[in-house]
Amino acid sequence: MKQKIFISLFVGIAISGVALYFAFRNVPFHDLIEYLSSINYAWVFPAAVLVLVSFAIRTVRWQIILESIHRIGFWHAFHPLMMGFMINCILPGRVGEMVRPALLQKRDRIPFSSGLATIAAERVFDIILLMALFAVVMAFVKIDPNLSIPFGSYRLNRETLVAINAQMVKVIIVLVAGIALVSFARTRLFITRLILNFPALFFFAGAAFREKVREKGCRPVIRIIENLASGFSLVRRPGRVFACFALSFCVWVLLAVSMAVLAIGCPGIDLTFVELTAVMIIVCFFIALPSAPGFWGLWEAGGIFAMALFGTAKQEAAGFTLANHAVQMFPVILVGLVSTAITGVNIWEVVRERRTQDSGKHPENAKNGLFR
């Protein structure tokens, strides 16, 4: 486990470092500090409150998804959720996604795989909502036909954004269709058999190689499919699906409103709410890549890159993005620490216990630990 975390941290820091270079290479440090000192930080508090309200809504959504297997109270769900997101902010590899189901297993005897399935369902709701919002926002955002923004060896223009928008719509259709397929037992069994038979294509290789492909490649994919199917089996009722999508919409709108509130106190940020929503979505796409803990680097690169689309100067974009990142991260870390203190749970001990249980059930995977 430690080796995997170290590798993830190393790769994340490298990617974040490259992103920071491209994001700030044309922003003098003195100018950045001067801009940060000019921000009216009175607007930070309401912006941070909106961020925390969005996590309260996430908690209600998680309760709905969990309801089919175990009904838990709001605070009983809120504390593990905040602790999980806190871990995501301070450790690489999104380890916090594993903390929540481990806590559910320890405190409520909910099987780890079932808890993990609920988080997979959450992520799919978020992805579909973000992609749909991106398609809608791009339909209303006016893009300069002469726009051309360099980013490393790439160049972004109007045609690129239109193409991305079209691809997002296709991805949503494929994602929904894929979820529908894996939700039915017969089609899921057919897909599972196809994946398990994939190594047979390497008939020219040895049996040991084919078995390695099956264990290292096929079975992890099958576990993902099973988690997705299990997670969405919990919300098959149309009312629950609608509620989860509505709450997901509220989460992302609140985060966009939080950015708009912070922008009031930031000089030179004259973007409309729709434009700020587009910035938020593009930042989310950037931080989906591996990164250092807290997404430092990629967050800033995505924000500066997105705000350049709407004519925001690099100095203002850099300062606003840094301030917004802090508003989005530090309240989560603080509340996560408070939740840890209130519950009295030793997160690291929970993770170690989960690793021990996995090793005991699957001795051959002992060296892989919890985060396989």
Mean pLDDT score, 221-242: 74
Q: At 154, phi and psi to the nearest 5?
A: -105, 160
Nearest to 133, CA basis, from 240, 272, 289, 256: 256
DSSP 214: I
Question: What was the pLDDT predicted at 192?
Answer: 87
pLDDT greater at residue 324 or residue 4: 324
Burial of 60 (0-12, 13-18, 19+ CB in 10 A): middle
For 12-43, write each residue's pLDDT tens digit: 556 556 655 555 565 667 777 888 899 999 99
The pTM assigned to this predicted structure is 0.77
Length of the chain measured in residues:
372
* Structure token pair of residue 362: 């699957």
DSSP class per residue in 290-349: --SGGGTTHHHHHHHHHHHTTT--HHHHHHHHHHHHHHHHHHHHHHHHHHHHHHT--HHH
| Mean residue pLDDT across the chain | 79
Question: What was the pLDDT predicted at 204?
Answer: 80
User: Cα–Cα distance between 199 and 206 in angstroms, integer?
Assistant: 11
